[in-house]
Amino acid sequence: MEPFVFFGGKGGVGKTTVSCAYGLECARDGHRTLVVSTDPAHSVTDVFDQSFDDSPRPVEGIDGLDAMQIDPEDEVTRHLDEIRQNLSEQVSASMVNEINRQLEMAHGTPGAYESALFDRFVDVMRNAEAYDRVVFDTAPSGSTLRLLGLPDLLEGWIDRLMYKRRTSIDLFEKAAVGNNEPRRVMDGDPVLERLQERKQFFEFAGSALHDDAAFFLVMNPDELSLNETRRSIDDLREKGFDVRGLVANKLTPSPDPDENGRGARYLRERVATERERLETIRSEFEPPLVAEIGWRSAEVKGDLLADVAAELDVETAVEPPTHV
């Protein structure tokens, strides 16, 4: 399977658990694996009982498994600082304030978090030579889907920006009649250069996501989760990504047949409705159901994670990436 594997789904369905379990399975099968989480709640830390930050760090006790957590807020700040640094080097003191205001406005726009996350995602994919497999535990559906749609959108946008810039420089060059020095020159224009760099970045992102990534959706056996999954599958398909498989998590355990108390009756009813829903998934949804994972009474960590991993029927074999 592809080297990059994404797990997505509604909030709270257990994406992190499933991603970590899959990461564990990959590592056990001898693939050097990295688990990347974008969950600001730091659930990977809880699963492995060890703290992680935004650079990969080996998971204690598991050979060949690294993990990292990306905090979008940190990423936005880092990006801002980088530009500010650049600004103070290039721009005269009197203009810095003006431009700074614009800069802060740009980083306060609603898309900034997503862009920061996206940048970091792609960065990890670009520098993934050290790993055979990278498992992405993505943020809840909506924003992730928008994230995956970014490259196409942005490539087009950048193209238009470059066209506008070229037009204006071309006119400035034409306006320089006789011995006049043109106000802007096409050769070595830093703005065009930057835009070109960005364009290549998005091109890489687009092709890596299309050719080297597989998507799985995690869901719970309830109506809301089902509906959301259905929408996600459609959204992803619209963007040209096929969901490889569905993972049903938090299935209710059935009671022993001789039990007949209130709890047992409740469980039996739930199991029955859940079975129906699973049937719906199998018959109506195109991506196959690759795992059915039961509820655990305790937090999933340590040995329990290995249990969950065993229930995952997702292959771990790795194909080399085509675009790195």
Partner 1 sequence: MDLADRIESFRETLEEWLRGLYHGMITHPAYEKIEKEAEDAEDAFMLACFPDAFGIPSPVSYYTAELLPYLEDEFEGWERRLWDRGTYLERKGQQYHF
211 in active site: no
Give the nearer residue to partner 1 in terms of CB position, either 164 or 265. 164
- In the three-class reduction of DSSP (H, G, I as helix; E, B as strand; rest coil), residue 291 is classed as strand
DSSP state of 66: E
Q: For the chain, first and last CA: distance in Å? A: 16
Residues in CB range of 99: below 8 A, 6 or more apart: 87, 91
Give the nearer residue to partner 1 in terms of CB position, either 173 or 307. 173
Q: Which of 111, 240, 263, 288 binds partner 1 (CB under 8 A)?
A: 111
Q: Does 51 bind partner 1 (CB under 8 A)?
A: no
Cβ atoms within 10 A of the Cβ of 244, count?
19
Q: Does 126 bind partner 1 (CB under 8 A)?
A: no
| Stretch in the footprint of partner 1 (CB under 8 A) among 31-39, 130-138, 182-190, 273-281 | 182-190
Q: Which positions from 285 through 324 interact with partner 1, judged by CB under 8 A? A: none
Q: Which of 191, 272, 306, 310 binds partner 1 (CB under 8 A)?
A: 191
Residue by residue, DSSP assigns 235-286 as HHHHTT--EEEEEEEEEPPPPPTT--SHHHHHHHHHHHHHHHHHHHHHHH-S
Q: Which positions from 242 through 271 interact with partner 1, judged by CB under 8 A? A: none
Q: Which of 106, 267, 271, 304 binds partner 1 (CB under 8 A)?
A: 106
Q: Does 105 bind partner 1 (CB under 8 A)?
A: yes
Cβ atoms within 10 A of the Cβ of 100, count?
16
Q: How far apart are CA 282 and CA 288, in angstroms?
A: 7
Q: Does 70 bind partner 1 (CB under 8 A)?
A: no
How much helix, strand and coil, in percent to the nearest 5, is found in the chain? 55, 15, 30
* Residues making contact with partner 1 (CB under 8 A): 79, 83, 86-87, 89-92, 95, 98-99, 102-103, 105-107, 109-112, 114-116, 150, 153-154, 157-158, 160-161, 164-165, 167-172, 174-175, 177-178, 180, 183-184, 190-191, 194-195, 198
Catalytic residues: 39
